[in-house]
Chain A
Amino acid sequence: MKQCESIIIGGGPAGLRAAKALLESGARVCLIDRNASMGGQLIKQTHMFFGSEKQHASTRGISIQHKLLSDVMRYGSRIEILSETHVVGVYQDKVIACMKDDRFFKMRGEAIIIATGASEKHLPFENNDLPGVYAAGAVQTLMNEYGIKPGHKVLMVGSGNIGLIVSYQLMQAGVEVVALAEAASQISGYHVHASKIKRHGVDILTNTSIKRALGETEVTGAELWKLDESWQGIEGSEWTIDLDTICISVGLAPLSELFQQVGANVEYVRELGGNVPVIDNTYQTTIDGVYACGDAIGIEEASSAMVEGEMTGIYAAHAMAKAHPNESTRLKALEEELAFLRSGPHAEKIRVGYKKRGEVS
């Protein structure tokens, strides 16, 4: 069986920065991702990031991916990248099972960092399996990665940042966004994103949700209705819109299956998006030598994922007796950075979630 010093599962912003920290500490890294290119969601982010200058604010996501990847590639033989490789199993003796094409193989690492990110939540409504119903991330992949328009007239469901940003990107691609429906009484994403699409004439309908998709073999319309204060649909308030695409953007859930597989303690924390692993203050799960960072431990922004990734890399290196050259100053700076990123009103949920997780662990 192949032996590795450190194995990182997931090559998104958290995984790439964890790799960089481990490489700076002199460790060897095997970075695995199921996609063809590293970068996770960054590769389809054509917009500029907010947040912190230190975490590449004002830079487009795709450019951040180039930067993070070149940061690790310059370590030459100490970094091994396995793309289009699925990690299908993680075991307590730090053995992982992988599939690449049709080939099955196992590897063992001294440290395993799970940075698998998140999956999109779906909604239960009538005919939600009709062709033409998409998740927002899927639409972004189609458009920004493959250059394919998902349709001509789109309803966006959900006004979080992803819903707002993807609506704008749809318009940039020449697709009509007929409306944006939000179940809550106010827009949940940043107002700078919301006002941009409002200026382009898109109605953002609050207290509104989709009742059902219309169409026989594919989506030809949507029936919307108003919701009362307890988010129940109001009978008689329904109306229909003609369209060919329904895009669902109702939040993300951490991809926690590998934590559950390996037997790490996992808790449900709704503020963090769902099932998240219990971690200590070095980002280690309850399984010795298995670490976690990024959206997989709680839904946040790419900027926080990068900071967490670097910290995890430093801690994992330390545990393997490979100290990062600036270990203590770097950790202190990263802690401060994370506190800054989680300081705004939009991060209230995150702060509550982390407090809760502190209590369960």
Chain B
Amino acid sequence: MKAEDVIICRCSDVSLKDLYTLFEQGYDSFEELKRIKRVGMGPCQANTCGKMVQWEIAKYFNRSLEDVKFANMRPFTLGVKLDAIKEACDDEDE
């Protein structure tokens, strides 16, 4: 299998080979992969890639899926322009 042609995260273009490289370096949690490769941080917010990342970690490190912690989720779920937040604050001040 050409792991470089298996795309795990479409938003940030992270392949299975990228994950394997990080696994070999000892990174074994979703949070670490996210911080290094931005997997799960794009527009889909891990809704497409998340389950595959969880699965690949479990498979590579021979763990059960229940033992692979999912990435932390924080607001916002979409990109929000600072300008839009400023406008909302201005409206509230009035």
Contact = CB atoms under 8 A, between A and B. Distances in A.
A132 B90 CA distance: 45
B47 A119 contact: yes
Given A268-B66, A270-B66, A128 B6 contact: yes
B6 A88 contact: no
Contact of B77 (A91, A123, A258, A268): A258
Q: Chain A contact residues (Cβ within 8 angstroms of B): what range? A: 35 or more
A266 B73 CA distance: 11
B14 to A, nearest CB: 11
A125 interface: yes
B70 to A, nearest CB: 5
Given A119-B48, A122-B48, A103 B87 contact: yes
A90 B56 contact: no
B5 A126 contact: yes
A104 B6 contact: no
Contacts of A90: 75
A129 B77 contact: no
Interface string B2-29: 1001111010000010000000000000
Given A125-B6, A255-B47, A270-B65, A88 B73 contact: no
6 contacts: A104-B80, A104-B84, A106-B88, A121-B51, A257-B47, A261-B77
Interface in B38-63: 45-52, 55-56
A129 B15 CA distance: 10
A89 B70 CA distance: 18
